[in-house]
Amino acid sequence: MYGMPPHRAEGTPALPVDRTTKRAWLIWATAVTVYIAAVFHRASLGVAGLEASERFGVGPAALSTFTVLQIGLYAFMQIPTGLLVDRFGPRRVLTAAALLMGLGQVLFALAHSYPLGLAARAVLGVGDAMTWVSVLRLAAAHFPPRRFTLVMSLSAALGGAGNLVATVPLTLLLDNAGWAATFLVAGAATAVYSALVALRVREVPEGVPQPEPESVPLRTIARRVAAAWRVPGTRLGFWVHYTSMSTPALLGLLWGFPYLVEAQGMARPEASAVLSLLVVVAIVTGPVMGAVIARKPEWRMPIVVAYLVVAVVCWALLLGWPGGVLPVPLLVAVFAVLALGNPASGVAFALVRDYNPLHRVSTATGVANVGGFAAITVCALVVGVLLDLVEPMPAASAYRVAFLAVAAALLLGVWRTTVWWRRARAAVFAAEERGEQVPVQIRRRRWDVLADA
Give CA–CA dist 224/345, Å, rounded. Answer: 24
Residue 335 lies in a domain: yes
* Contact call for residues 171 and 268 (beta carbons, < 8 A): yes
Residue 373 lies in a domain: yes
Give CA–CA dist 99/41, Å, rounded. Answer: 13
Residue 409 lies in a domain: yes
Give CA–CA dist 364/374, Å, rounded. Answer: 16
Quick one: pLDDT at residue 97?
Answer: 95
Residue 449 lies in a domain: no
Distance of CA 207 to the CA centre of its chain: 33
Q: What is the pTM of this model?
A: 0.74
pLDDT by 10s per residue, the chain, length 453? 333 333 333 333 344 455 677 888 999 999 999 999 998 888 887 777 778 888 888 887 788 788 788 878 888 887 788 778 877 888 999 999 999 999 999 999 999 899 999 999 999 989 998 998 899 888 888 888 777 777 877 888 788 777 777 767 787 888 888 888 888 998 999 999 999 999 988 887 766 656 665 566 666 777 878 888 888 889 999 999 999 988 888 887 778 888 999 899 888 888 888 888 877 888 888 888 878 887 888 888 899 999 999 999 999 999 999 888 899 999 999 999 999 998 898 889 888 877 777 667 777 887 888 888 889 888 888 988 898 888 788 888 899 999 999 999 999 999 999 988 888 877 777 766 776 666 666 677 666 655 444
Residue 215 lies in a domain: no
Quick one: pLDDT at residue 52?
Answer: 84
Quick one: pLDDT at residue 45?
Answer: 78
Residue 218 lies in a domain: no
Q: Count CB atoms within 10 A of the CB of residue 425.
A: 23
Query: Which residues fall within 8 angstroms of residue 13, CB to CB, at 6 or more apart?
Result: 145, 358
The number of distinct structural domains making up the chain is: 1
Give CA–CA dist 29/26, Å, rounded. Answer: 5
Residue 216 lies in a domain: no
Give CA–CA dist 15/37, Å, rounded. Answer: 28
Note down the domain range covering 310.
21-203+223-441
Distances (CA, A) of 306 to 269, 297, 313, 404, 448: 32, 15, 11, 22, 18
Give CA–CA dist 47/398, Å, rounded. Answer: 20
Domain of 378, CATH number, reads: 1.20.1250.20
From the list 418, 421, 427, 423, the residue with the least C-alpha distance to 451 is 423
Quick one: pLDDT at residue 8?
Answer: 33
Residue 301 lies in a domain: yes
Amino acid at the residue 57: G
Amino acid at the residue 96: A
pLDDT digits (tens, 9 = 90+) for 218-232: 667 778 788 888 888
